[in-house]
Amino acid sequence: MEPTKIQAQAIPKLLEGRDVMGIAQTGSGKTAAFGLPILAGLLTLTGRPRPLTTRALILAPTRELAVQIDEAIRKFAGSKMKLDTVLLLGGVSRYHQVKRLERGVDIVVATPGRLKDLMDDGKIKLNETRWLVLDEADRMLDMGFIPQVRQIIRQTPPKSERQTLLFSATFTEDVMNLAKQWTTDPSIVEIEALNVASENVEQHIYAVAGADKYKLLYNLVTDNGWERVMVFANRKDEVRRIEERLVRDGVNAAQLSGDVPQHKRIKTLEGFREGKIRVLVATDVAGRGIHIDGISHVINFTLPEMPDDYVHRIGRTGRAGADGVSISFAGEDDSYQLPSIEALLGRKISCETPPTHLLRPVERKRT
């Protein structure tokens, strides 16, 4: 299988022992770019890690992204490589996480909040960490995690004694400042630094009144028989209402937002990945780290307030070389976002009027 651009450029540098700053969008193959060299390095070590220590630490800003990194690392390692990993997330019981740490682990994948709590309680030590990965550093900045991340990194060996890998979708001054603080002469690998949408995604915008948006969504999904669709809305209450209406109208749907408990999030993502859930409705924060192949369509029920979020949303489809389609609903309340999105994309997206049959009333399911 041919490596992606980020893999082809980053892996040789990492195998040489260099620190790397990678500028690449989600879906570009970053996890393999840092995961495979770490696994190769672990193969050269002998003996078990000491209790409460880890040899590699991977930090991610969202629980969904952490779960998927952990799954990918395990897949890369396979069953023959005797690898001890642990996933440290808030919102789930600490008991099993602590039990795993007590015997020492090779790789920890964590969100900053739970890791910091366990550090404060003396349940994990980072003084023997040889590899440190910060994934989606720009998102960590946006979400206010950097103070926690600073405290975590202070407990790892000096940067001259560890290999540090920092990945970000954007090349901002703040991200560069973080890289200067935490890396040693990093090799900069820049892939698609301009945060533009994948060419594999066919983009459409429907001009539609707010009162007609749900009818349009329902009829698009059911008329076309779409089986794996992500729907984005800006607010948690919007997400909840859309999901509830779809379920009421006979569509197998689920929601992801900050209000959904972690154990339910994981179960929901598994159901969506396995095809048991047809429509996944999410906010930007909940949907940012979702990397699931086979999502045929992304629908923006409301246009995002930040242009970058538009790119991240539609990037959930058209992954791994497949084709995808995004459809955005532009109503009276959110169409003003279009110019800034088009400016980021560097092109116009023509607005279409939905076909009349897609605006017909939803027929209520009889019970």
Most confident of 3-12, 18-27, 199-208, 240-249: 240-249
Tell me, what's the pLDDT at 287?
Answer: 67
For 254-310, the pLDDT digits (tens) are 998 877 776 788 788 889 988 999 999 999 876 666 767 789 999 999 999 888 889
% of the chain residues with pLDDT over 70: 93
Confidence of residue 193 (pLDDT cuts 50, 70, 90): very low
Rounded distance, CA 291 to CA 172, Å?
A: 24
pLDDT digits (tens, 9 = 90+) for 119-147: 999 999 999 999 999 998 988 887 889 99
Closest CA to 125 of 59, 52, 55, 47: 52
All residues at 6 or more sequence positions from 267 whose CB lies less than 8 Å from its CB, including other chains: none
Residues in a beta bridge with 168: 23
**The pair of three-digit structure tokens given for residue 6, joined into one six-digit string:** 């980020």
Residue 278: the pLDDT is 96
Reported as half-sphere exposure (CB side, CA atoms, 13 A), residue 24 has a value of 27
Spatial separation of the C-alpha atoms in residues 153 and 2, rounded to whole Å: 34
The reported pLDDT for the residue numbered 188 is 86
Q: How confident is the model at residue 333 (pLDDT cuts 50, 70, 90)?
A: confident
Cβ-Cβ contacts under 8 Å for 224 (sequence gap 6 or more): none
Report the alpha-carbon distance of residue 201 to residue 322 in Å, rounded. Answer: 9
Please say whether the dihedral angle defined by the alpha carbons of residues 237, 239, 243 and 249, taken in this order, is positive or negative.
positive
Sheet holding 201-207, edge to edge: 253-256, 279-282, 229-232, 297-300, 324-330, 201-207, 351-352
Q: What is the mean pLDDT of the chain?
A: 89
pTM above 0.75, yes or no: no
* pLDDT (average), residues 159-166: 96
Q: Determine which of 87-96, 191-200, 340-349 has the lowest per-residue pLDDT on average.
A: 191-200
Q: How far apart are CA 236 and CA 256, in angstroms?
A: 9
Reading the block at residue 268, the tokens are 């929901």
Task: Name the CA dihedral angle for 254, 256, 259, 262, rounded to a multiple of 10 degrees.
Answer: 100
Between residues 26 and 199, which one has the greater pLDDT? 199
pLDDT of 44 reads 92
Bridge partners of 22, per DSSP, are: 167, 189
Decide: 253 and 277 in contact? Cβ < 8 Å: yes
Domains of the chain: 5-190 (3.40.50.300), 201-359 (3.40.50.300)
Residue with tokens 């009333």: 361
Give the pLDDT confidence score for residue 195 in this predicted structure: 43
